[in-house]
Chains A and B, each alone.
Chain A
């Protein structure tokens, strides 16, 4: 049997390996971002989030019939609750729909001289970038209104809340991508992503309260930190409240939360868990993607 010879590929040369891998990843990221922004889901979510964020930034109708604008801190507290529901939901749906629904599109990309890790990381980064744009539009629009009407006092806390909520949205993308890799049919992948989001955003709190009643007499303690660390939505919400002054906002419960997370290892543990949630689902997804048949 005669096999045709060929020149040594550029990416086998160490000088070119990393630029080529990064370049491929960046190419796919830009392509995915452009496709996401031109699809229907992302613009629709961006518009919905912006409208709700602007609505939240307005305190409501005053006695004179004029709109009253809240300050940054109150807006941040209200918007944090909304964003911590919406952004992970959007991220999970986008990730699951994009990766779980791929057929000919994925085959075509993976049939090119590109690694599977580059392809998946590039796609996940493109989806995450689209989610960051959605978050920036919503938080930005509300922030501009608040800054113009009520000044910039508390803007740093608002920015940190925006950052935290966006990070949880990106966690949602990672989980959605992992679900998409594990569940190949788009509808099933999206259904699983929705179920996971519902569990993390809604059911988890009820379960956490039950656990605390059982093991800690309902008092905050190491169990609370552990429960916050396990769920990035709750973890970021707690960190956000502490950052914005939980003792003032929530009274004695907030003061207890402040003690748990404000001045000891609790904050580091929760921050570390959010970082782990950002990385681990994607790493597992990349590993499984490399083993999958298309």
Chain B
């Protein structure tokens, strides 16, 4: 009963959401995407369109399918059934071209020992066939220009994340896929990265991100998707999600949806 109620609300909110956003082009499209890891159902029959120019944030408990969903757009995780299309390119059949449209910041970022920020950015610029001037421009954009020739082994978590963001921005991708970009950062590091993301969003780059920071999500995202146990339980703009459930804010909305769905499950 509770599940039915949630589904009805989701449909209602998605419908409102669609009329609000119009028919903007779809940048990333999931159609019946399901992923199983052995017996574990990580993502269950996901249908989701990420529209060009929007920032869509995925939230949900650990293991609810957010990261798998993000990785599926890059072909890092395959599909058990269904498909993912990025910029018109099926990720399974034409992953190389699909990935050329995306920049990616993984949750855990590791770099080889002894490499400087400039060398790493230069390497990825060549892999992406990006303009060579991108390296200097992006180093300065993420405020790493002064430490560009230092080995990244000595970088703080925030500096590494900013370097990761610079790599993701190489070649001006149409969309960014960011997996918990501010997790494990201190407040000043998180704020700096959040400012950069807000700037990128204003420039019209599509952003698909996952986060546990509901304040960050509320500040950055045009739409929010709440994942519970591999299913997209709710999707829409934050004010409409909150209003639809009669909640006081995103936190209460999240609390209700996760509690309800987990209870029923």
Contact = CB atoms under 8 A, between A and B. Distances in A.
A112 B24 CA distance: 26
Contact of A108 (B29, B77, B109, B129): B109
A15 interface: no
A247 B18 CA distance: 85
Interface stretch (A1-9, A48-56, A188-196, A254-262): A1-9
Interface string B82-108: 000101110000001101111010111
Interface in B154-208: 164, 167, 174, 177
Contact of B77 (A9, A102, A113, A294): A294
For B52, B107, B124, the residue with the greatest tally of chain A CB atoms inside 10 Å of its CB is B124
B102 A111 contact: yes
Contacts of B37: 293
Contacts of B75: 110
Contacts of B101: 6
A153 interface: no
Interface in B37-82: 37, 49, 52, 71, 74-78
Contact of A114 (B25, B71, B127, B164): B127
Contacts of A39: 112-114
Contacts of A40: 113
A27 B76 contact: no
A27 B85 contact: no
Interface in A1-29: 1-6, 9-12, 24, 27-28
B29 A38 contact: no
A110 B71 CA distance: 11
B76 A9 contact: no
A104 B87 contact: no
Given A4-B174, A104-B110, A12 B78 contact: no
Interface in B194-239: none
A266 B88 CA distance: 56
Interface residues of A, number: 36
Given A1-B26, A6-B87, A6-B97, A35 B110 contact: no
B104 to A, nearest CB: 4
Nearest to B96: A113
A62 interface: no
A113 B97 contact: yes
A112 B77 CA distance: 14
Contacts of A112: 99, 124, 127-128
Nearest to A103: B108
14 contacts: A1-B49, A6-B88, A6-B101, A10-B129, A12-B97, A34-B115, A35-B113, A38-B115, A107-B71, A107-B76, A111-B99, A111-B106, A112-B127, A293-B71
Given A113-B96, A113-B129, 14 more contacts: A2-B24, A3-B29, A3-B85, A6-B101, A12-B97, A27-B123, A34-B119, A38-B115, A103-B106, A112-B99, A112-B124, A113-B100, A114-B127, A294-B77
Interface of A: 1-6, 9-12, 24, 27-28, 31-32, 34-35, 38-40, 102-105, 107-115, 291, 293-294
Q: Which 7 A-B pairs have the closest CB atoms?
A: A38-B114, A35-B112, A111-B104, A113-B100, A104-B108, A3-B88, A294-B76
